[in-house]
Structure 1
Amino acid sequence: MEKEVIYNADLHFEHQNWQRELNFWEDELKSFQLRLEELVNRWTDQKVLAEIEKFQNKFIIQEKEFDALKDQIAMHEKNMAAHYEKNEDVLNKTFVTQHLDFRKVLETERNLYYDLKKEFFRFLTKYM
């Protein structure tokens, strides 16, 4: 039976991509917050203001989630660095399994974030 070999560099590459994606999303959230500020200045209707507040809260929660994901990536990188310092380029099965599980978490987060974006753009279309 042949075993698949997973190298630090392969996982590091994926971590870098995830990090860039999370940074991009954080930048997007900042621009979305600016749009909400514009709407607050335009609308006095309590229904609209309540929806604005709902989005502000969702964006805060999303930002915290992004920070937590970035922390997890940093922990994975630290673990890989420890292996690298010991001249271990191949990681153990447990760590690789955690990486694959995290990949699923990030895919789920990606879908949730895109759903939030779609909802937000529908809201903007209605009230901008």
Structure 2
Amino acid sequence: MEKPVLYNSNREFEQQQWKGEIAYWKEELEMFTIKLSEFITRWGEKEILDQIDDYRRQFVFHGEVIEDLLEDLEQQEVFLMAQSDADILKNETALVKNHVNLRKRMENQREIYAQLKKQVFRFLEEYL
């Protein structure tokens, strides 16, 4: 089996993309939290308030997940700074596996978060 090869330029590009995406998610989570807080003052029905509270908890959870992703991404960058400046990291199988794992986690977070946003928008449309 051929060893995976990870080019620094590709890794750096992907990591910058992830950082931008995480920054956007953080801003978006703040906006959703504010918007849901506004709705709490408008609605008195227990069922609606419970649903809003559930969405707020999910946003807190997603905030924690993206913080973990960002921390792991930064740790990987610190590790890479200590490595050689070679263009190809051929013998760093652990690094490649770690990067691929981060990629899978980002993809998973993207999908789960997108589903949550769809649910929240549908909820808002129904009760606005």
TM-score (norm 2): 0.90
Q: Which amino acid aligns with 2:88?
A: V
Q: How big is the alpha-carbon RMSD for the aligned residues of Structure 1 and Structure 2? A: 1.8
1:35 Cα deviation from its structure 2 partner: 1.1
Residue of 88, 91, 96 corresponding to 1:90 = 88
Q: Does 1:7 align with 2:7?
A: yes
CA shift digits 1:23-45 (9 cap, x unpaired): 10111111111111221111011
Shift in alpha-carbon separation, 1:2–1:46, aligned structure 2, 3 A: closer
Instruction: Show the counterpart of 1:59.
Output: 59
Matched residues, number: 126
1:4 Cα deviation from its structure 2 partner: 6.2
Q: How does 1:19-98 map to 2 (within 5 A)?
A: 19-83=19-83, 86-91=84-89, 92-98=92-98
Instruction: Show the counterpart of 1:124.
Output: 124
Shift in alpha-carbon separation, 1:50–1:2, aligned structure 2, 3 A: closer
Which contiguous aligned blocks of 4+ residues in structure 1 show a shift greater than 6 angstroms? 1-4
Do the aligned residues in 1 keep the contact of 2:15 with 2:73 (CA within 8 Å)? Answer: yes
Do the aligned residues in 2 keep the contact of 1:6 with 1:90 (CA within 8 Å)? Answer: yes
Do the aligned residues in 2 keep the contact of 1:33 with 1:56 (CA within 8 Å)? Answer: yes
State, as a whole percentage, how many aligned pairs show the same letter: 33
Q: Does 55-64 or 86-95 show the bigger shift?
A: 86-95
Question: C-alpha separation between the residues in 1 aligned to 2:44 and 2:4?
Answer: 60
1:9 Cα deviation from its structure 2 partner: 2.6
Question: C-alpha separation between the residues in 1 aligned to 2:108 and 2:95?
Answer: 20
Q: Which runs of 5+ in 1 are unaligned?
A: none
Question: C-alpha separation between the residues in 2 aligned to 1:2 and 1:48?
Answer: 55
